[in-house]
Amino acid sequence: MNYFKNIEMFSEISETEQENLSDFCQMQVLDSWDLLFQQWDEPQALYIVDSWKLSVVKNEKEIAELSEWNLVWEMAFFWNPPLRSATVIAKEQTTLIVILQFSVEALLKKYPKLYESVKQIIEERTLDNSSSYKDI
C-alpha cells in the first residue's frame, strides 16, 4: 500500500520509491485523548495524520490542531538536542502513518527538495507558534 501518493510534499519521489518507503511504515491508531508524545520527549518517528485530528499543546494551552496529511515530528528533527517542542494528544480517534526516524533521515538526505519542504513547514510553524505564545 502506498501511504504517500496523496501527500504533496512526497510528489517528487517516484511511486516505486513511495511504495518502498511505505513498506517501512506502519499505521497507529489513537483513541480520543490518547497521548502521542509529551513535550521534551526524544523523537523516535515522524507521524503523518491519516485521518481525524490531533491537538498540539504547550504550557497547557492548545497552540495548533493537526488534521489529515499534516506532519507531526518535523520540528524535533532539527533541534539540537532533538526534543519534542510540545505535547500532542488525539482529539478524537486518529489514524497515523508512522515512519521511523532512520527512514526519515535517509529520505531527507536522498531528496533535497523534500528536505526543503520540511524546512519550510518548520519555518511556518515556528512563526505561527511564536504568535501563539504572545497570547500565553
25-133 to CATH, choices 2.60.120.10, 2.30.29.30, 2.60.40.10, 1.10.4080.10: 2.60.120.10
Query: If phi over 0 gives left and psi between -120 and 50 gives alpha, with beta otherwise, what is residue 114?
Result: alpha
> Could you give the maximum distance between any two Cα atoms of the chain, in Å?
46
Contact by Cβ (8 Å): 65, 56: yes
The alpha carbon of residue 73 and the mean position of all alpha carbons in its chain are separated, in whole angstroms, by 4
- Residues 78-135 have pLDDT tens digits of 666 777 888 999 999 999 999 887 887 788 888 888 888 878 877 787 777 566 544 4
**Average per-residue pLDDT for the chain:** 82
- Each domain of the chain, given as residue ranges in start order, spans 25-133
For residue 64, the cross-strand partners are 56
Reported pTM: 0.76
Q: Report CA torsion sign: 110, 112, 113, 118.
A: positive
